[in-house]
A and B are shown apart, each in its own frame.
Chain A
Amino acid sequence: MKILVAVDLSDATETIVNKAEEIAQAVSAQIWIIHVAQPKPELLEFDAGPQAEREFLAKRFQTEHAQVQEISARLRHGGLEATALMIKGDTVEAILAEASKLEADMIVVGSHGRGMMFQLFVGSVSQGILSRAQCPVLVIPSTYPGAVLEKTH
């Protein structure tokens, strides 16, 4: 079994990775951690010139790359066959393209994405994936760790 885990490196990422790890361990699945880097800066209105902008993006790309590698290293340490993927492009398109290339049996995403659609209940990324994925999609709610804490009260 092959599991593709889409992470945005936000606070929710750890929860998502942990859940995916749990399932991957149980079904002895191969796991791919994918992070899609934005091709353009999110804020278009800042004053910095093109050089500073390029440096900023390059630096961010490096940081994200290191974070994704770190997640996959942690999973490998736990005995899983894990691979880090870093792709530039449109988030939904890139995730779907990788899922079909890898013939993933499951895509794991968080329920809330970043960006303009943040105010919606289901993030635009998970929405886009759900409507077009050819394989099952596991959606982890961003409130999930909170729900676990509630139970202990």
Chain B
Amino acid sequence: MKILVAVDLATHPATDLATHPATHLAVILAEATEKIVGKVESLALALPAEVWVLHVALPDPDFVGYKAGPQSERDFLAKKFHEEHRQVQSISSRLQEKGIVATALLVQGATVETIIKEASKLAVDMIVVGSHGRGMMAQLLIGSVSQGVLQQAKCPVLVIPTNKRA
């Protein structure tokens, strides 16, 4: 069995500056990711399943209104991309240490489309997502990414509750 896990790692400048101190947001994300990875770990061990850990990096700067020039913008994005790469690798090594065949994937693109595309490319049997993302839609019943994945997925989708109420 093959499982594709979509994790949400990056901090989001547009929202975290507006509503959360960056550190606070990082903690929230870490908890959500931890919940998802923990569930996947026990499921993958039991089934057993091969796991792909996918993080979709945004293709463009999140926020185009700032004044910084192209060079510092490139530096910022490169650094962010590097950090996300390190995190997704560390999740995959953590699964590997438990004896699970795991692969880290970092792909740039639109989040939902990339998850769906990777899922069909790998012919996975299940996609795992968190119920709530970050950003403007966090207050909705279900996050926009899980909503989009549910609408377009051709395989079963396991939605892990990551909201505070759960």
Residues of A near any B CB (own CB < 8 A): 1, 19, 23, 26-27, 106, 111, 121-122, 126-127, 130-141, 143-144, 147, 151
Contact = CB atoms under 8 A, between A and B. Distances in A.
Interface stretch (B11-19, B69-77, B79-87, B157-165): B157-165
B47 interface: yes
15 contacts: A111-B150, A121-B150, A122-B147, A130-B159, A131-B131, A134-B161, A136-B161, A137-B158, A137-B159, A138-B156, A139-B150, A141-B154, A144-B154, A144-B155, A147-B154
Contacts of A27: 43, 46-47
B156 A147 contact: no
A126 B17 CA distance: 34
Interface residues of B, number: 25
B43 to A, nearest CB: 7
Contacts of B27: none
Nearest to B151: A121
Contacts of A141: 150, 153-157
B142 interface: yes
Contacts of A23: 47
A122 B151 contact: yes
Contact of A26 (B47, B156, B165, B166): B47
Given A134-B166, A135-B161, A143 B154 contact: yes
Give the top 5 A-B pairs by smallest Cβ distance, nearest first: A131-B141, A147-B154, A27-B46, A121-B151, A26-B47
Interface in B45-67: 46-47
Given A139-B158, A143-B154, 20 more contacts: A26-B46, A26-B47, A27-B43, A27-B47, A106-B158, A111-B150, A121-B151, A122-B147, A131-B141, A131-B142, A132-B165, A133-B166, A135-B161, A136-B159, A137-B158, A138-B157, A139-B150, A144-B154, A144-B155, A147-B154
B122 interface: no
Contacts of A147: 154-155
Nearest to B158: A138
A19 B47 CA distance: 13
B142 A127 contact: yes
B160 A136 contact: yes
A130 B166 contact: no
A26 B1 CA distance: 10
Nearest to B39: A136
A144 B43 contact: no
Contacts of A131: 131, 141-142
